[in-house]
Chain A
Amino acid sequence: MARVTKEEKKQGIISAALKLFSEKGFYITTIPDIADKVGMSVGNFYNYFKSKDILAKELVLYISEYLGSQIREINERDITTEQKIYEIVSMYFSVAEKKPEMIEYFLRVYLSNREVFGDGCEGMICVSPFVTEMMMFFNDGVESGDLHDQDFFSAFGLFMGYLGGMVFLFGEKILPEPLDNYKDDIAQNIYNALKKR
């Protein structure tokens, strides 16, 4: 049997912690719960993360880097801004369905427990890879003449607030249809709202 490397074990902790935090909440989940889920001792867990707070911050960075790399791949494609919007919406919904813990963690843990992330994860620090890619998307959209030039946060809030809201409704089991069924209209709505006037 192949030896599990330290990096693979770290990934195992990240996956387990994401699931537990997003299902049970940040405060109820304990380090013994996480260690138990990955099948390691609590003592060994501390070789990977020095505290629950540090793990929580690493998780935000992990999600931000994952989403950032997905958006970067879309940004670098030779397609129109309208198509990019569709691809970003599809990617985001696909993550929400296949790895719901990623988006759930972001919405329910990161955005709801600001006191945990105040020191060392404030502002853009942990979400920079994701936000930077959205900046690139908006910059390229305006530069190519497809999008209306406006304040970054007005556009960012419209785009990500909309997607976050839909995923939240999906998580609450309020949406009557699977997320996938909404992506065409949502992508079209975002484009219509942001396109050059």
Chain B
Amino acid sequence: MHSKNAKKPKLLWLQGITCNGNTHSFLNLSSLDILLDKFELLHIPAFATQYTLEEIVECNLDCDVLIFEGTYDPLMRRADVALEKILLYYAKSASHIIAAGSCASFGGMFKAVAPERNSGILFDEEEKLGPLKEDEKKVINLSGCPIHPEWLAYILQMIVNNMNILLDELHRPLELYSPLAHHGCTRNEYFEWKVDAKSFGTKEGCLFYEQGCRAPMTHASCNKILWNEVSSKTRIGTPCFGCTEPDFPRKNLFKTKTNMSIPQDVPLGVPKRSYLTLAGIAKTFHIKRLEGKLIDYKTTP
């Protein structure tokens, strides 16, 4: 037995209203053991850790890294202690507070239960109305429904290595959230030539025109850092739902909102007029290779 725990940062994982999706996602990390070995684990639900929840809510320990999963509900109690008290107590000693997933980041799915009351730990959608306003500098939002395990590992590694984590205005790490989900999408050629996917689950076609894909407006690197190292929503023919953005969950996730066939939202930072000009011209051309199944296309006559 080695006793290096004294030098390791102390990690505590708390939960608000959650489906445990972020915990489950994190369990898929292939390097989980190596990563967790760098921390002293005070308490993580679903893991065998040093303290039980009952011991944690007594609020007489301290932690270095606090991970919070789930929507914050000010009326919620954990092990018969107010969640607010537990969260505020551990936030004080933590040097870094990670909101794991979209619920903890912006309110997410479980904000819908009580939209006026529930929120993320710092943000309520785009506004800083959550309980951790005083400790806001410590809060790192790792939005996503669920959290991408590699992103959480990436940030935990940065913390262990004492690196400076630059954040965007919604407190998401720029390294992970400055790209769009569109970047690295294998359907980009179909987007360029405005060829839409005829249905879900196909390899061909772009999901932006009919199927509701939000990738060109969504800050996320899930088409660069793949899920389970192999795939992403768009790669298997499902639209991006924009799950890393504060307005998630939106309605009609499988349908593009259009006004007279014109997409209501166009790629981030692109003026609609410019987009329509380019789209109209691109649609003029019919590229045979992009119209059928890729495997059916013959390169020789």
Known contacts A136-B276, A139-B272; is-contact A125 B284 (Cβ 8 Å): yes
B285 interface hit (Cβ, 8 Å): yes
B280 interface hit (Cβ, 8 Å): yes
Query: Contact check: which of A123, A142, A153 meets B281 at CB < 8 Å?
Result: A123
Q: How far is the CA of A155 from the CA of B272 in the complex (A)?
A: 19
B277 interface hit (Cβ, 8 Å): yes
A181 interface hit (Cβ, 8 Å): no
A28 interface hit (Cβ, 8 Å): no
Q: Name the residue of chain B whose CB is nearest to the CB of A150.
A: B260
A34 interface hit (Cβ, 8 Å): no
User: In the complex, which residues of chain B have a beta carbon less than 8 angstroms from the beta carbon of A72?
Assistant: 273
Query: B264 contacts A143, CB within 8 Å?
Result: yes
CB interface residues, A 128-155, toward B, < 8 Å: 128-129, 131-133, 135-136, 138-139, 141-143, 147, 149-153, 155
Query: Contact check: which of B260, B262, B280, B285 meets A128 at CB < 8 Å?
Result: B280
Query: Contact check: which of B262, B281, B285 meets A138 at CB < 8 Å?
Result: B262
Query: B259 contacts A138, CB within 8 Å?
Result: yes
Number of interface residues of A (CB under 8 A): 24
Q: Name the residue of chain B whose CB is nearest to the CB of A72.
A: B273
Q: How far is the CA of A149 from the CA of B261 in the complex (A)?
A: 8
Q: Name the residue of chain A whose CB is nearest to the CB of B286.
A: A123
A33 interface hit (Cβ, 8 Å): no
Query: Contact check: which of B264, B276, B284 meets A135 at CB < 8 Å?
Result: B276
A124 interface hit (Cβ, 8 Å): yes
Q: How far is the CA of A152 from the CA of B281 in the complex (A)?
A: 16
A122 interface hit (Cβ, 8 Å): yes
Query: A142 contacts B260, CB within 8 Å?
Result: yes
Q: Give the interface size class of chain B.
A: 10 to 19
Query: A128 contacts B277, CB within 8 Å?
Result: yes
Query: Contact check: which of B260, B280, B283 meets A139 at CB < 8 Å?
Result: B260
Q: How far is the CA of A155 from the CA of B276 in the complex (A)?
A: 17
Q: How far is the CA of A168 from the CA of B164 in the complex (A)?
A: 69
Q: How far is the CA of A31 from the CA of B277 in the complex (A)?
A: 32
User: In the complex, which residues of chain A have a beta carbon less than 8 angstroms from the beta carbon of B280?
Assistant: 123-124, 128, 131-132, 135
Query: B277 contacts A152, CB within 8 Å?
Result: no
User: In the complex, which residues of chain A have a beta carbon less than 8 angstroms from the beta carbon of B273?
Assistant: 72, 132-133, 136
Query: A143 contacts B259, CB within 8 Å?
Result: yes
Q: Name the residue of chain A whose CB is nearest to the CB of B278.
A: A128
User: In the complex, which residues of chain B have a beta carbon less than 8 angstroms from the beta carbon of A143?
Assistant: 259, 264
Known contacts A132-B273, A136-B272, A136-B276; is-contact A123 B284 (Cβ 8 Å): yes
Query: B276 contacts A132, CB within 8 Å?
Result: yes
Query: B283 contacts A149, CB within 8 Å?
Result: no
Q: Name the residue of chain A whose CB is nearest to the CB of B280.
A: A124
Q: How far is the CA of A35 from the CA of B277 in the complex (A)?
A: 34
Known contacts A128-B277, A132-B273, A132-B276; is-contact A151 B284 (Cβ 8 Å): no
Q: Name the residue of chain B whose CB is nearest to the CB of A124.
A: B280
Query: B262 contacts A152, CB within 8 Å?
Result: yes
Q: How far is the CA of A20 from the CA of B90 in the complex (A)?
A: 83
How far is the CB of B106 from the nearest CB of chain A, in Å? 25
Q: Name the residue of chain B whose CB is nearest to the CB of A137.
A: B260
Query: A139 contacts B281, CB within 8 Å?
Result: no
User: In the complex, which residues of chain B have a beta carbon less than 8 angstroms from the beta carbon of A150?
Assistant: 260
Q: List 20 A-B contacts (CB under 8 A).
A: A123-B281, A123-B284, A125-B284, A128-B280, A129-B277, A131-B280, A132-B277, A135-B262, A136-B272, A138-B259, A138-B262, A139-B260, A139-B262, A141-B259, A143-B259, A149-B258, A149-B259, A151-B260, A152-B261, A152-B262
Which chain B residues have a beta carbon within 8 Å of chain A's beta carbons?
A: 258-262, 264, 272-273, 276-277, 280-281, 283-285
Given A131-B280, A142-B259, A143-B264, 13 other A-B residues pairs in contact with their CB atoms under 8 A? A72-B273, A123-B281, A124-B283, A124-B284, A135-B260, A135-B262, A135-B276, A136-B273, A136-B276, A139-B264, A142-B260, A149-B258, A151-B261
